[in-house]
Amino acid sequence: MISAEKIPNNVGLSSNKRLQRALEHWQPQYIQWWKDMGPQGFQDYHQVYVRTAVSVDPSGWAHFEYVNLPEYRWGIFLADPVQDRRIGFGDFFGQPVWQEVPGEFRNQLRRLIVTQGDTEPASVEQQRWLGQRCPSLYDLRNLFQVNVEEGRHLWAMVYLLHSYFGRDGRDEAEELLARQSGNRDKPRILDAFNEPIDNWLDFFMFTMFTDRDGKSQLLSLSESSLDPLSRTTRFMLTEEAHHMFVGETGVGRIIERTCQLMKQAGFSEDVRKLGGIDLPTIQKFINLWFSLSLDLHGNEISTNAATYFANGLKGRAQEEKWDDHLVTERYYDLDVPADGRLERKSIPMRTAMNEVLRDWYVGDCEAGVQRWNKILERHGLADRLRLPDRKFNRGIGMFSSLHFDPNGVALNDEDWARRKGEWLPSPADREYLLSIMATPVYEPGKFANYIAPPIRGINRMPINFEYVRTEM
């Protein structure tokens, strides 16, 4: 039974019969999906200390309690309305925002919402086996927090589909539960969401880099002229921040431990013999997840992106910081491959909106990597981690048919095939990581050997708090 008590919301669910009916059909399928495709081995007998959003004010979404995961209260929230909000960019600049979907933009908006929605359950599916290899109860709890909130983000997109897109919206909402990460016949829409995440270095890199793409895409959707989409994504951003915290501090704690082990090994790079994760391996995972997440921003030159911008559907991150919101006369300089070399070209800026967003994203990632380098500096080490060149290992966009090394130097097919193992995780690297993660750490306050404890616990709880407990 659908009830406002079980589904915390600020969208008037108790008086919205249409939404109730749609959810009555969809919610049981969602729970079934969560049980089948969500965290494996932690559905029945575990209580997890998680945060549940019960309202949009800070006190409301910082509500912590022990929950049995399938009983988590996935809610539906819109950020508070902005009075007299006006369209902030594109051809309709200055007009009032839309409370309903204009017929002529219905397909484009549905496509954006479905693409966004598809990533949320995909990430839960990708991470579903990680609990069996967790480095601590603290990390296990963080994994589940991320998972339930990705589930809530799916609810947010399904709310929009059910409320504004009629029959097609209901069909799309079902399809969101039918596609599966990595499934050959029914894969998830975007490539990075079909990659396996079977170890915790992958998970932390994913939450650092791929969730940060979530941040850039949500920032741009929160500028949308469709006000309910803007308000939904604005609230999602508050949760996204915690996911990136998990990623950045997770990798940071691995680096911290690696530094300790390097000292212990007499400043040797080879910390594997002490069971640690060496810096070259960490660099390879940065190279992988950064390049996969660059792909998530779409083609460098994109008429889709130009149309989204022109129609006011998807803006730039922090659109108010730009001085020109029409962008009809501006150009963007880009290195374009031509006849086997790169040629600088000026392209109309509206068609470069994916690249403009990617610029914002690269800057945000760069700041995070610099914070990691501070750890190395603090330990007196000369090694530094870095982002690879944007052209490296691309699967989408104009560099995808070419090869480049992490410095952006072009390589032929043969050199790429021979050398890519130097820059990307090899099967042997993955095997090594699985070997040090084979035994999960479930004892409160204990941490796997390859990762340092966090500085503090969650919600002012001690680090040795029993963040996940078993109830038989």
The amino acid at residue 304 is N
**Candidate residues 90, 169, 214, 315; the one interacting with ligand BYC per rule CB under 6 A:** 214
Q: How far is CA 212 from CA 122, 167, 451, in A?
A: 16, 32, 22
Closest to ligand BYC by CB, 303 or 346: 303
Helix and strand numbers (H, E) in the chain are 13, 7
**Shortest reach from residue 278's CB to ligand BYC, in Å:** 27
Near ligand BYC by CB under 6 A: residue from 14, 55, 115, 464: 115
Q: Which of 27, 116, 147, 393 binds ligand BYC (CB under 6 A)?
A: 116
Closer residue to ligand BYC in complex, CB, 304/464: 304
Q: Which 347-386 positions form the footprint of ligand BYC (CB under 6 A)?
A: 354
Q: Least distance to ligand BYC from the beta carbon of 194, Å?
A: 9
- CA 464 to chain CA mean position, Å: 28
**Structure tokens given for 198:** 């079977």
* Dist. CA 183–CA 172, nearest whole Å: 18
CB nearer ligand BYC, residue 112 or residue 365: 112
Among 38, 53, 110, 120, binds ligand BYC (CB under 6 A): 120
DSSP 228-280: HHHHHHHHHHHHHHHHHHHHHHHHHHHHHHHHHHHHHTTS-S--GGGT---HH
Q: How far is the CB of 299 from ligand BYC (least distance, A)?
A: 3
- All residues at 6 or more sequence positions from 329 whose CB lies less than 8 Å from its CB, including other chains: none
The distance of Cα 12 from the centroid of its chain, to the nearest Å, equals 29
DSSP-derived secondary structure letter, 208: I
Q: Does 150 bind ligand BYC (CB under 6 A)?
A: yes
Strands 331-338 and 403-404: unpaired
- Which residue stretch of 13-21, 90-98, 111-119, 364-372 sits at the interface with ligand BYC (rule: CB under 6 A)? 111-119
**365, 396, 448, 451: residue in contact with ligand BYC (rule CB under 6 A):** 396
Q: Which range touches ligand BYC (CB under 6 A), out of 58-66, 114-122, 363-371, 382-390?
A: 114-122
From the CB of 9, what's the least distance to ligand BYC, in Å?
21
Q: In angstroms, how far apart are the furthest CA atoms of the chain? A: 68
From candidates 211, 256, 355, 405, binder to ligand BYC by CB under 6 A: 211
Cα angle: 421, vertex 424, 425; to 5 degrees? 90
CA-CA distance, 3 to 195, in Å (whole number)? 36
Interacting span for ligand BYC (CB under 6 A) from 42-50, 80-88, 110-118, 453-461: 110-118
* C-alpha triplet 255, 238, 287: angle, nearest 5°: 35
> Per CB under 6 A, does 393 bind ligand BYC?
no
The nearer residue to ligand BYC, 46 or 153, going by C-beta atoms, is 153
* Site membership for ligand BYC, residue 225 (CB under 6 A): no
Helices 279-295 + 427-437 axis angle, to 10? 110
Cα–Cα distance, 377 to 394 (Å, whole number): 31
- Which helix (H) or strand (E) segment holds residue 334: the answer is strand 331-338
Q: Candidates 207-215, 334-342, 373-381, 424-432 — which segment interacts with ligand BYC by CB under 6 A?
A: 207-215
The stretch near ligand BYC (CB under 6 A) out of 119-127, 256-264, 418-426, 444-452 is: 119-127
Provide the binding-site residues for ligand BYC, judged by CB under 6 A.
112, 115-116, 119-120, 123, 150, 190-191, 210-211, 213-214, 217, 295-299, 302, 304-305, 314, 354, 396
